[in-house]
Amino acid sequence: GATVASGEPAYPGYGATEAEPACGVKEEAAVPVPERREEFDGGRILDISHYYREDMPAFESAEGTPGFLRLARSMRNGSDIANFSELRLTAHSGTHVDAPGHVFEHYYDAGFDVDTLDLAVLNGPALLVDVPRDRNITADVMESLHIPKGVRRVLFRTLNTDRKLIWKKEFDSSYVGFMEDGAQWLIDNTDIQLVGVDYLSVGAYDECIPAHLVFLDKRVRV
């Protein structure tokens, strides 16, 4: 059996949900093929997180995420009890959420870690919006999107997806993200509490920290 992607998905990897036998031949597989993603109730809940890979890009790294996983105890090599895998990677790897303590020491000291984030904000319907491909997310761009009042969760699809940046091992600082004024416009003019972007940082590289400070000062989740 093989897991095959049907067609050319907008997001490579997300199409790989249908298990189909290779070349149309049904195989007698003793071990089922694992599915990486699950769809519940006809697709109402989708896990869009990326799975961790050795060549998953990491912020300001050319190396990806090498050696993040090892089998610390293996049944094939001495352990007759179980297999234990060991993960070694930063909490800011791959698909992640920023805690307010990420950029504010007072929040860090007060314990505003990811486990203090509101699950009701983190989960639920989200609006997916395409942003202009020729600019970073500025106040002008935000205004032009006409995101309705009341929308609490927005995923911003950008040029990063077209460029398949998350599939490239080497970090690319030319990714699209929020400029400080775009972040401020969002805070001042929308009801958005959860912001999702399609690369490693919500802030464009040149205004990375200023954009984070605007979002996380009000503890909007990014």
Ligand X SMILES: *[C@@H]1O[C@H](CO)[C@@H](O)[C@H](O)[C@H]1NC(C)=O
> Which residues bind to ligand X, rule: CB under 6 A?
71, 74-78, 83, 134-136, 159, 174, 176, 204-206
Phi then psi dihedrals of residue 203, to 5 deg: -95, 135
Question: Closest CB to ligand X among 45 and 75?
Answer: 75
- Token pair recorded at residue 16: 């790989």
Shortest reach from residue 212's CB to ligand X, in Å: 13
Shortest reach from residue 171's CB to ligand X, in Å: 12
Question: Closest CB to ligand X among 75 and 87?
Answer: 75
Shortest reach from residue 31's CB to ligand X, in Å: 8
Question: Closest CB to ligand X among 176 and 202?
Answer: 176
Considering only CA atoms, which of 163, 143, 158, 162 is closest in space to residue 198? Answer: 158
Q: Which residues of 9-18 are buried (b: 16+ CB within 10 A; e: fewer)?
A: eeeebebbbe
Question: Closest CB to ligand X among 105 and 134?
Answer: 134
Question: Closest CB to ligand X among 39 and 130?
Answer: 130
Shortest reach from residue 160's CB to ligand X, in Å: 9
Which H or E run includes 195?
Answer: strand 194-197
Shortest reach from residue 27's CB to ligand X, in Å: 18
Phi then psi dihedrals of residue 84, to 5 deg: -125, 120
CA separation (Å) from 12 to 51, 63, 102, 170, 191? 12, 21, 29, 17, 31
Shortest reach from residue 77's CB to ligand X, in Å: 4
Task: Specify the pairing of strand 18-20 against strand 2-4.
Answer: antiparallel
Question: Closest CB to ligand X among 100 and 177?
Answer: 177
- The sign of the torsion formed by the CA atoms of 89, 94, 100, 103 equals positive
163 DSSP assignment: T
137: Cα within 13 Å, side-chain hemisphere: 32
